[in-house]
Amino acid sequence: MVKLPGDIKRFTKRRRNMSKKVVVLGSINVDTTYHVERFPQPGETIAARSKSSAPGGKGANQAVAAARSGAQTAFIGAVGSDSEGDYMLEALKENAIDVRHVAIDQYHGTGSAAVTLDANGQNDIMIYGGANQALTTDVLAGAEDVLDGADFLISQFETPQAVTLAAFKLAKKHGVTTILNPAPAHDIIPELLQYTDVIAPNESECALLTGIEIADEESMLKSAEYFRSQGVSHLLVTLGSKGVFYATPAGHGLVPAFKVKAVDTTAAGDTFIGALSSQLNDDLSNVAEALVYAQRASSLTVQQMGAMPSIPTADQVQAALVE
Active site residue ranges? 270
Among candidates 278, 307, 321, 315, which has minimal Cα distance to 154? 278
Please indicate if the annotation marks 33 as binding a ligand: no
Please indicate if the annotation marks 60 as binding a ligand: yes
Please indicate if the annotation marks 239 as binding a ligand: yes
Alpha-carbon distance of 84 to 88, in angstroms, equals 6
Among candidates 181, 150, 155, which has minimal Cα distance to 168? 155
Please indicate if the annotation marks 302 as binding a ligand: no
Contact 89, 100 (CB under 8 A): no
Report residue 240: phi and psi, to 5°.
65, -130
Please indicate if the annotation marks 30 as binding a ligand: yes
Alpha-carbon distance of 77 to 97, in angstroms, equals 12
Please indicate if the annotation marks 210 as binding a ligand: no
Please indicate if the annotation marks 187 as binding a ligand: no
Strand order in the sheet with 177-180: 98-105, 72-80, 21-25, 152-155, 177-180, 198-199, 234-238, 244-248, 251-255
Please indicate if the annotation marks 12 as binding a ligand: no
Please indicate if the annotation marks 31 as binding a ligand: yes
Alpha-carbon distance of 274 to 60, in angstroms, equals 10
Please indicate if the annotation marks 298 as binding a ligand: no
Question: 3-class DSSP state for residue 238?
Answer: strand
| Residue set of the binding site for substrate | 29-31, 57-61, 158, 270
| Residue set of the binding site for ATP | 202, 238-243, 269-270
| Residue set of the binding site for K(+) | 264, 266, 301, 304, 306, 310
| Residue set of the binding site | 29-31, 57-61, 158, 202, 238-243, 264, 266, 269-270, 301, 304, 306, 310
